[in-house]
Amino acid sequence: MEEKLNFSPNALVVLKKRYLKKNEKGQTIETPAELVERVSSAIAAVEKKYGATKEKTEEIKKKFYEIIANLEFVPNSPTLMNAGKDLGQLSACFVVPVEDSMDSIFDAIKATALIHKTGGGTGFSFSRLRHKNSVVKSTGGVASGPVSFMKVFDAATQAVKQGGTRRGANMGMLRIDHPDVLEFIKCKEKEGDISNFNISVALTDDFMEKVLKEEDYNLIDPHSGETVNRINAHDTFNTIAEYAYKNGEPGIIFIDRMNEGNPTPQLGVIESTNPCGEQPLLPFESCNLGSLNLSKFLREVDGEFEVDWDRLRDVTFLAVRFLDNVIDANKFPLPQIRENTLKTRKIGLGIMGFATMLGFLGVPYDSDEAILLAKEIMSFIYKNAKEESMKLSVVRGVFPAWKGSSWDKKTTRIRNATLTTVAPTGTISIIAGPTSSGIEPNFSLCYSRNVLEGEKLLEIDPAFEYIAKKEGFYSEDLMKKIAAGESIQGMEEVPEKFKKIFKTAMEISSLWHIKMQAAFQDFTDNAVSKTINLPNNATVEDVKEAYLLSYKLRCKGVTVYRDGSRSVQVLTVEKKKEEKKHEITEEKQSVVSYPKPRPEVIMGTTTKVTTGCGNLYITINQGECGDFFEVFTQMGKAGGCAGSQLEAVGRLISLALRGGVDIKVITEQLKGIRCPSPSWVNGKKIFSCADAVARVLEKRAMDQKEIVKVEIPVLEKQEASVVVKKTANTFNNIVGVCPDCGCALRHQEGCLVCDACGYSKC
C-alpha cells in the first residue's frame, strides 16, 4: 500500500522523528505505510466487539487506511503513536481533579505523571484549594495557596518527558472569585516561571455583567464558602488584560458557557479543560480527537474549485466511527479515567486546512463570505457526525450516562455525548500538509523547513502556489522572499486581487479572528482553539475589546497574543536585502536573550590560519536552521595562558551566536585587535588571534548566502507602529526557541509550535 501514500518530505521527517516505531537502539523499524496499517488495523479490530464479520472488519480497516493515507483525516498524536503497540494509550486530553487536601494534591501529581508518560495533556482547576495564608485547622498552620502548588505540578511535569516523543503540557485554571485570583493572574509575569502550564481564568457571567457595570464582586473562600473580600470587577478585568498584553497569558474561559454545553450535568460540573482550552471535561475524563483536512475536500469544475460535499460527508461518517472505536481500543492510564470516559464516550472531530481551502476558493479570510462558509462547513460536519453517532447507537447502544443528559431531554439516542472540537493541529497539519493549521489563517505563505540532516526545503501553501503558477506570478525568488518574512502586500509582482485573498495572520484584524472563532463555535459542542492575533502596537484597550467581543459573540474562551510581547524572541529567516535588514537592526532595541540549546550532533568546518603565535585552527559549527551556532579555537600544541584566552574567546562568541547576536556585530568587535606578533596570510595582515577569528567568521558569513539571524527589537510605542507595518509578516508570534532543533517557536492555537521540525508543546 506504500504507493497510496502522499506524505510530503517534511511530513516524512516528522513521522520518523516522532511517530514511527523504533527498536531498543532507537532505530526506526517502521515505514509510514506500516504506521497507517498499524493504526487502521488496531482501530478496525474493535468492529469484532460489535458483531462484525472478518470480511466486514477488513472492509472497515481499508476505509480507515484510505482516509488517513489520503490525508483526509488524521487522528490525534497519541493514537498515531500508540495504536497497535503495547502502550496503547490513545487519548490526547485529560482533566484531573485537585481537591483541598494533601492526599488529593499528590494523588493528582502522580496521575499527571502517568498521563504525561503515555503522551496525554492534562488540565486542572485549582479553585478548590484554600487561599494563601488561610488557616489550616488540622495543623494550626497557614495554607500556601494554589499558585504554590501549581509550581509543584510544574516541577513534576518537567521531570517527565511524554513517552519519549511529547513533553508534558498542562492547563491551570482558577475561578475569578477565588481569593488568590490576582496572584494567579500575575504568576507567569516572570518569563520561564511555571513554564509547563498554560493558565486561564474562569470568568462567570455574573462577573462579566459586573465588569460592564463597573461594580464590585465577591471573593469567596472555597473551603468555607464565605466572602473574604470584595474588589472591583472592572479593575480585575483590566489586570487580566494587562498581563495578557505583556505575554499572552492568562487566557480566559467563560466557565458558565462551558457548563451550558455540558451534556451530562447529572455527573458533575465542568471546572477545567485540556491544555489548549478547547476540550472541557469532567474530573477524570478523557477525550480523543481527530481532524478533517478541508484542503482535501475540493474538486475542480471548469477551472474553478468548489467544496466536495459528498466526500466530506462520507469521510465524516468514517471519522466518527473511527473515533468511537478508539474509545474501546484505548488502554487508559488509570481505572477511574477508563470508567468516566466510557460513561460519556466523548469524541472531538475537528478540522484543519480551512485557510488553504479558502485560498483555493478565492475567498479572503477576513470577509463575510468566509464567515458564512465557516458556518456552512461546520454545521454540515456536525449534522453528519450526529447522524453517524445516532446510527452507531442503534447497534452499539447509547453512551451509558445518556439517561438524565441533555440528549435524553431531547429524546435523541446517540452514541457519543460530544461530537465536535476544533483542536490545535500543529504537528498533524505538517503530517497532512502542506496545509494550514486548524481554523487559523496562514502565518506565512511559505516556510523554510528542516528536512534531512540540515537540508532545508521551502514548503508553500498549496493554494497560493497553485494560484501563483496559474496566474503567472510564481517564481523561486518570490517564494524565498516570502520565506524570509516579506509580506506579499508590498510586492508589485502580486496582483491586488490575490493580496486580499492571501492575507496572513498578522495582516487580519482581531475583529475577524474573533468572528471566525465564533462562527465555528456555533456548531462545535466542545470548544474552539484559536489565537487572536494582535499587532505589536496594540494597546491594553484592544485586548479588553477582544475579550468583550468574544463574550458578546458567545465564544467559550479566548487567548490573545500581541506580536513581540515575549522578551525572548529569536527568528531564523533567509537573508534579506541589506537595506531591509537595517530597517530592523538600526531601530532601538532592548532584548533579553538566552542561548539556544545545543543539538547532540552538529556539523561545521575547520579553517587553519597562520598567526604570529603559530597555527590557529578555527572550527565554526552551524545549527539545524543553518545559522552560525558555535566557535572552537585551538592553537597547535599551545596551552597555558594563550590556550585559556582562546578558549574564552570561543566560548563568548558561541554564547553570543546562540543568543542571536548578529555575526556582523561580533566580527566588528574582534577585527583589528592587535598583538605584538602580527602575521601575513594571502597578502592580508593578521593582527592577532582574535583578528584571525573575526576574519574567518566574516569569510564564512560571506559564503553563507542563505540564512541570517535577526533579533526582534522591543520598540518604544511611538516607534513600534512604523516598524511593525514593515515587518508584521516577519514576526508572526515568535516566542522563543524550539527545545528540539533550536529554531523559532510560534504561539498558535494556545500552544507553542515549531514550523521547522514539527515540535509542539501540547
Does 347 lie in the same domain as 333?
A: yes
Residue 755 lies in a domain: no
Averaged pLDDT, 487-505: 95
Q: Please give the C-alpha separations between residue 750 and each of 175, 450, 760, in angstroms, as whole numbers.
A: 19, 24, 11
Does 186 lie in the same domain as 287?
A: no
Specify whether 287 is catalytic: no
Handedness of CA 257, 262, 265, 271 (dihedral sign): negative
Name the catalytic one among 37, 271, 278, 749.
278
Does 101 lie in the same domain as 174?
A: yes
Does 68 lie in the same domain as 133?
A: no
Predicted confidence band of residue 600 (pLDDT cuts 50, 70, 90): low
Nearest residue to 517 (alpha-carbon basis) of 749, 298, 700: 749
Does 382 lie in the same domain as 337?
A: yes
Across all residues in the chain, what is the average pLDDT? Answer: 86
Pairing of strands 121-125, 170-175: parallel
Does 699 lie in the same domain as 652?
A: yes
Does 311 lie in the same domain as 208?
A: no
Does 280 lie in the same domain as 242?
A: no
Where among 381, 415, 449 does a domain terminate? 415
pLDDT of residue 566: 66
Task: Yes or no: say if 506 and 364 are a contact pair by the CB < 8 Å rule.
Answer: no
Domain count, the chain: 3
Averaged pLDDT, 346-367: 98
Residue 475 lies in a domain: no
62-109 pLDDT, tens digit each: 999 999 999 999 999 999 999 999 999 999 999 999 999 999 999 999
Residue 45 lies in a domain: yes
Residue 262 lies in a domain: no
**Residues of 59-86 as b/e, b for ≥16 C-beta within 10 angstroms?**
ebbebbbbbbbbbbbbbbbbbbbbbbee
Is the pLDDT reported for residue 579 higher than 60? no
Does 218 lie in the same domain as 297?
A: no
Where among 367, 392, 415 does a domain terminate? 415
Specify whether 218 is catalytic: no
Alpha carbon of residue 327 to chain centroid: 25
Averaged pLDDT, 635-655: 75
pLDDT of residue 589: 39
CATH number of the structural domain spanning residue 9: 3.20.70.20
Does 131 lie in the same domain as 60?
A: no
Residue 687 lies in a domain: yes
Where among 415, 448, 474 does a domain terminate? 415
Does 299 lie in the same domain as 195?
A: no
Task: Give residue 717's domain range.
Answer: 576-730
pLDDT of residue 166: 58
212-248 pLDDT, tens digit each: 999 999 999 998 999 999 999 999 999 999 999 998 9
Residue 639 lies in a domain: yes
Is the pLDDT reported for residue 760 higher than 80? no
How crowded is the C-beta side of 123, counted as CA atoms within 13 Å?
A: 30
Residue 552 lies in a domain: no
Name the catalytic one among 274, 416, 621, 732.
274
Name the catalytic one among 276, 625, 689, 743.
276
Residue 164 and residue 294: Cα distance in Å, rounded? 31
Residue 425 lies in a domain: no
Is the pLDDT reported for residue 680 higher than 50? yes
Does 296 lie in the same domain as 210?
A: no
Residue 556 or 484, more confident: 556
Residue 502 or 621, more confident: 502
pTM: 0.80
